[in-house]
């Protein structure tokens, strides 16, 4: 059962709550740039080690990639948390 849509069967349907709901969801999902920077730092820290584990040699020793993961993920988590806290104000 359709309660409220912008168009239904080719006809425009009046929906007073649609615009307000869209604005509320956009405000809720908007994150700060620090959040996205933290997510990118985490992805860039995890990806090289993950790709090495999947495609690298079986007898390899990726110490540099492990160190990148070890220092990059906590930094990314700090940025992510700061972005969440400042983005919700």
Indicate if the alpha-carbon torsion angle 55, 78, 82, 85 is positive or negative: positive
Give residue 22's pLDDT. Answer: 60
pLDDT digits (tens, 9 = 90+) for 18-59: 555 566 556 555 778 899 999 999 999 999 999 999 999 989
- Does the pLDDT at position 67 exceed 60? yes
* CA distance linking residue 79 with residue 1, whole number of Å: 43
Confidence (pLDDT) at 2: 47
- Domain ranges in the chain are 1-30, 31-89
């Amino acid at each position: 059962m359709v309660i409220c849509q912008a168009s239904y069967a080719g006809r425009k349907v009046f929906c007073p709550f649609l615009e307000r709901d869209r604005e509320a969801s956009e405000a809720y999902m908007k994150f700060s740039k620090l959040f996205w920077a933290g997510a990118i730092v985490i992805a860039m820290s995890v990806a090289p080690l993950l790709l090495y584990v999947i495609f690298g040699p079986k007898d390899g020793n990726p110490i540099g990639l492990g160190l990148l993961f070890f220092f990059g993920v906590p930094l990314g988590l700090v940025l992510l948390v700061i972005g969440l806290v400042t983005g919700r104000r």
